[in-house]
């Protein structure tokens, strides 16, 4: 179906938007079933790449230009753009068609992809601003932020933005992994992974269409990637509760992820206790 789109690459900023929406804002855009099916396939490919850490397999356009994105478009077009950008980042991180690029080319590519996130953080489109927002409050037993949005489309976009944020942070070529200052860099990375995971869950649970299956699954993908960096016992229990809801309400298998998380959390606790007993000295 993707090959029948007859484009150099269907998954490009030039073609992903589909036909213009009707002047009546309440009218659905005139998008074909094939176009919609390809968008669903793109989301599933992103999930699969992130879950299994395999190369991106779809024919993604190699020259998407993110430097001049028109802000005066609706949230549906913005979400399509975010999906293409997220797919581009998946290809950057895990590989795909197009061969291997050298270190300098990789750094420049990362900078171009990161610039989209920086621009978003500076001038977030008004349609993605929450109707209601409340910070998490562990003292009150609320471990996820409350963030309400108008429709599920906005939630999909914001969740894939967080997945992209995770990948850009984890695969930053400038990240110092060894030597003086490496500990601080790794700590900052882990803090970012934790924040994104918590927000992914909050978006899934507190949107107007609460507990929607696509939003819950997207959050579960984030948990499988970053859940081991959740260190607070209360947050860990909240993550387990989230996975329990996903399996109970949507029959999505979560036991393997749950067991892996418990093992990772247990190992981190033992390492922390060992470090404390040794007085902070290397053992």
Tens digit of each residue's pLDDT (9 = 90 or more) over 182-240: 888 999 999 999 999 999 999 999 766 677 889 999 999 999 999 999 999 999 999 99
Confidence class for position 178, pLDDT limits 50, 70, 90: confident
CB atoms within 10 A of CB 275: 13
For residue 169, the model assigns a pLDDT of 96
pLDDT value of position 272: 72
Distances (CA, A) of 226 to 79, 175, 198: 23, 17, 10
Q: Is the pLDDT of residue 59 over 60?
A: yes
CA pair distance 86, 105, nearest whole angstrom: 19
pLDDT given for residue 17 in this prediction: 65
pLDDT at 24 over 80: no
Distance CA 232, CA 223 (A): 15
pLDDT at 211: 78
Q: What is the pTM of this model?
A: 0.88
Nearest to 62 by CA among 118, 17, 18, 105: 105
- Cβ atoms within 10 A of the Cβ of 68, count? 5
User: At 46, phi and psi to the nearest 5?
Assistant: -60, -45
Q: How far is CA 146 from the centre of its chain?
A: 18
Alpha carbon distances (Å) from 32 to 28, 42, 70, 82, 214: 11, 16, 23, 20, 21
By percentage, how much of the chain surpasses pLDDT 90? 57
Q: What share of the chain is helix, strand, coil (3-state, %, to 5)?
A: 60, 5, 35
Asked whether the predicted pLDDT for residue 18 surpasses 80, the reply is no
Predicted confidence at residue 27, as pLDDT, reads 46
Greatest Cα-to-Cα distance within the chain, rounded to the nearest angstrom: 69
- Expressed in angstroms, the distance from the first to the final Cα of the chain is 57
pLDDT digits (tens, 9 = 90+) for 77-130: 899 999 999 999 999 999 876 555 666 788 999 999 999 999 999 888 888 999
3-state secondary structure 163-224: HHHHHHHHCCCCCCCCCCCHHHHHHHHHHHHHHHHHHHHHHHHHCCCCCCHHHHHHHHHHHH
Mean pLDDT of 251-280: 83
Percent of the chain residues past pLDDT 70, beyond the cut: 83
Query: What confidence score (pLDDT) does residue 181 get?
Result: 80
| Alpha-carbon gap, residue 204 to 231, rounded angstroms | 21
């Amino acid at each position: 179906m993707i090959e029948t789109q007859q484009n150099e690459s269907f998954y490009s900023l030039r073609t992903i938007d589909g036909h213009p929406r009707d002047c009546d804002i309440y009218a659905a855009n005139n998008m074909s079933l094939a176009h919609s099916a390809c968008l669903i396939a793109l989301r599933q490919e992103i999930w699969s790449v992130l879950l299994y850490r395999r190369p991106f397999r779809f024919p993604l356009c190699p020259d998407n230009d993110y430097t001049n994105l028109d802000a005066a478009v609706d949230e549906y077009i913005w979400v399509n753009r975010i999906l293409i950008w997220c797919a581009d980042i998946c290809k950057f991180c895990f590989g795909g068609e197009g061969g291997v690029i050298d270190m300098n080319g990789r750094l420049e590519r990362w900078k171009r992809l990161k610039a989209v996130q920086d621009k978003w953080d500076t001038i977030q489109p008004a349609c993605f601003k929450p109707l209601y927002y409340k910070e998490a409050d562990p003292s009150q037993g609320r471990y996820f932020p409350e963030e309400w949005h108008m429709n599920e489309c906005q939630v999909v976009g914001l969740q894939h933005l967080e997945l992209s944020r995770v990948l850009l942070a984890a695969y930053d070529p400038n990240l110092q992994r060894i030597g003086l200052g490496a500990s601080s860099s790794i700590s900052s990375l882990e803090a970012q992974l934790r924040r994104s995971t918590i927000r992914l869950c909050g978006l899934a649970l507190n949107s107007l269409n609460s507990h929607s299956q696509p939003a819950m699954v997207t959050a579960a993908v984030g948990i499988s990637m970053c859940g081991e960096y959740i260190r607070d016992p209360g947050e860990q229990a909240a993550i387990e509760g989230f996975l329990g809801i996903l399996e109970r309400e949507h029959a999505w298998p979560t036991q393997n992820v749950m067991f892996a998380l418990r093992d990772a959390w247990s190992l981190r606790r033992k390492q922390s206790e060992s470090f404390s007993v040794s007085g902070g000295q290397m053992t």
